[in-house]
């Protein structure tokens, strides 16, 4: 991809040097502060408070920080980590791709007579707390409609390359564009309608709606690719193949096959063939109306 001269987005929040462990400790302090007035009201409460203080400082004396131990599982202190040149370049890349999706969706929303509200993108390591709950890197990139933010641990790109066999910068860009697609669905009200409909369905039927939602996000990612290519000439030979390969690698059938039997009734994201077809449709047509996977 020809991305290095692209505009950088102002909507990237880089938390890779933050300390999830420390944040967990602060959460513990906050919780204690909230219950402190109740503890002081009774003799029993004051006695428990004194015991708690003695236990805490006794543990500190032995080398344990109980507030750190109370942090969510998988959290760790990464505050001393320095970002490598590769880390910094990946952040630049993500910022450019996010900015380019902003350009695309501002234009598309204007055609619909609407105003596009830009999402934030959070870079994190290992674990993160969002409005949708606490998440670990193993979950992969995700979008949270509760705070209109995309979350990604850039180590996922190494997994794409080494575990999924989906290398390449355009494949990486496709992942971001897909999550932005979920933001578009939230703004257009599609996600809310799907969630409401799923509450009245069986699990198998709800899964089918999830598939349609994910395939539409793939199609929206294709729309971004269309404009990145035709309007800004960012694509190079082989880039589309990278995206299609990534879409294929994360199809439900491919992922299930790696673990055993393939069960179509349990699909939530779509088969490899479906994901490739809808991305390609969005890329070729470049129109929101071409992405009606629910029709």
Residues 154 and 283 in one domain: yes
Identify the CA nearest to 243 among candidates 183, 283, 286, 291. 283
Residues 61 and 151 in one domain: no
Residue 266 counted as domain residue: yes
Identify the CA nearest to 22 among candidates 64, 53, 67. 67
49-73 in b/e form (b: 16+ CB < 10 A) is: eeeeeeeeeeeeeeeeeebbeebbe
CA 182 remoteness from chain centre: 10
Residue 106 counted as domain residue: yes
Residues 96 and 25 in one domain: no
For residue 97, the enclosing domain spans: 83-291
The pLDDT, as a whole number, for residue 34 is 52
Residues 41 and 186 in one domain: no
Residue 139 counted as domain residue: yes
Q: Report pLDDT digits (tens) over 274-295.
A: 898 999 999 999 999 999 999 8
- Report the distance separating Cα 164 and Cα 157, nearest Å: 10
Residue 48 counted as domain residue: yes
The pLDDT, as a whole number, for residue 23 is 46
Residues 198 and 275 in one domain: yes
User: Could you tell me if 2 and 96 are in contact, meaning their C-beta atoms sit under 8 angstroms apart?
Assistant: no
Residue 210 counted as domain residue: yes
Confidence of residue 138 (pLDDT cuts 50, 70, 90): confident
Residues 52 and 166 in one domain: no
Residues 152 and 254 in one domain: yes
Residues 280 and 224 in one domain: yes
Using DSSP bridges, classify how beta strands 149-152 and 142-144 pair: parallel, antiparallel or unpaired.
antiparallel
Residues 121 and 174 in one domain: yes
Residue 1 counted as domain residue: no
Residues 172 and 287 in one domain: yes
Residue 209 counted as domain residue: yes
The pLDDT, as a whole number, for residue 114 is 97
Q: Report pLDDT digits (tens) over 221-230.
A: 999 999 999 9
| Rounded average pLDDT over 12-24 | 67
Residues 138 and 169 in one domain: yes
- Report the distance separating Cα 177 and Cα 165, nearest Å: 19
Last residue in a domain, options 39, 69, 99? 69
Residue 9 counted as domain residue: no
DSSP H helices in the chain: 20-40, 43-61, 66-69, 85-111, 155-162, 169-188, 190-198, 203-230, 239-249, 252-259, 272-285
Residues 56 and 108 in one domain: no
| Rounded average pLDDT over 82-106 | 91
Q: Report pLDDT digits (tens) over 140-169.
A: 889 999 999 999 998 888 888 888 888 888
Tally the domains of the chain.
Answer: 2
């Amino acid at each position: 991809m020809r991305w290095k001269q692209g505009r950088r987005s102002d909507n990237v929040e880089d938390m890779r040097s933050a300390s999830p462990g420390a944040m967990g400790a602060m959460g513990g302090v906050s919780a204690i502060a909230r219950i402190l007035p109740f503890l002081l009201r009774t003799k029993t409460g004051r006695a428990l408070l004194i015991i708690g203080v003695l236990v805490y400082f006794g543990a500190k004396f032995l080398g344990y920080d109980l507030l750190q131990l109370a942090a969510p599982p998988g959290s760790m202190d990464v505050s001393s980590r320095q970002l490598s040149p590769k880390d910094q370049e990946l952040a630049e890349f993500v910022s450019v791709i996010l900015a380019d999706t902003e350009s695309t969706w501002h234009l598309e929303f204007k055609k619909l007579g609407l105003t596009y509200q830009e999402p934030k993108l959070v870079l994190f390591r290992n674990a993160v707390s969002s409005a949708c709950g606490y998440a670990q890197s193993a979950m992969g990139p995700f979008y949270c409609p509760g705070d209109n933010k995309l979350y990604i641990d850039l180590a996922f790109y190494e997994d794409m390359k080494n575990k999924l066999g989906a290398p390449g910068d355009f494949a990486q860009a496709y992942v971001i564009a897909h999550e932005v697609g979920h933001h578009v669905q939230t703004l257009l009200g599609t996600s809310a309608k799907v969630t409401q409909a799923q509450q009245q369905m069986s699990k198998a039927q709800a899964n089918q709606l999830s598939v349609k939602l994910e395939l539409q996000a793939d199609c929206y990612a294709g729309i971004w690719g269309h404009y990145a290519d035709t309007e800004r000439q960012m694509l190079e030979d082989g880039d589309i193949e990278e995206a299609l390969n990534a879409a294929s690698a994360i199809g439900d059938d491919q992922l299930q096959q790696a673990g055993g039997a393939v069960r179509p009734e349990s699909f939530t994201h779509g088969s490899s063939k479906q994901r490739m077809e809808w991305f390609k449709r969005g890329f070729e047509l470049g129109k929101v109306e071409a992405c009606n996977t629910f029709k």
